[in-house]
Amino acid sequence: MFNRKNSSRKMKKIFQWEEYLNWKNMSKEQKLNFRRACLFPFLVYIVYVFLNQYSLPILLLLGFYFLIRFKNRNKLGR
* pLDDT block averages, 10 residues each, the chain of length 78: 62 68 84 90 96 95 94 72
pLDDT at site 8: 67
| Helices and strands in the chain, H and E counts | 2, 0
Between CA 3 and CA 9 the distance in angstroms is: 11
CA-nearest of 43, 40, 50 to 32 is 40
pLDDT at site 54: 96
**How do the domains of the chain map onto residue ranges?**
17-76
CA geometry: angle 38, 41, 43, nearest 5 deg? 105
pLDDT at site 24: 85
Between CA 13 and CA 19 the distance in angstroms is: 10
pLDDT at site 52: 95
pLDDT at site 49: 96
